[in-house]
Amino acid sequence: MSVTTFNSPTGPQAVGPYSHGVIARGELVFLSGQIPLLANGTMVVGDCTEQTRQVFYNIKEVLSSQGLGLNDVVKCTVFLASMEDFAAMNAVYGEAFGDHRPARSAFQVARLPKDALVEIEVIACRS
């Protein structure tokens, strides 16, 4: 199987030994989870709405480095520090995807990197 890793030059740098994404078989693009980091590595200070907006900005930056966009996303996994933030995340999620509806799972987790309120990973597919 052909697998290629990549990093986006405009997305926030990885905070560990991983890449922004992996391309498998030339068409499936797996993105590492994105948290609300700014390009300079600092966290967005704010509520789940603000953090989710930054997460989607980061996802779009990483996808665009591969010539892809949110309409190419086929699956999302959402990790929340608290399910109390589900509605806030969901509102931004709906704005980001518009009429596009990829498959999705959402979980509350004990803790996220850098104490983020939200992390989202996506799988996209090249047309």
- CA angle (125, 87, 97) in 5-degree steps: 25
User: What tens digit of pLDDT does each residue of 51-89 get?
Assistant: 999 999 999 999 999 999 999 999 999 999 999 999 999
pLDDT of residue 1: 66
Which CATH class for the 3-125 domain? alpha beta
Distances in whole angstroms, Cα of residue 16 to Cα of each of 12, 33, 57, 59, 76: 12, 12, 20, 17, 21
User: What tens digit of pLDDT does each residue of 22-44 get?
Assistant: 989 889 999 999 999 998 999 99
User: What tens digit of pLDDT does each residue of 95-114 get?
Assistant: 999 999 999 999 999 999 99
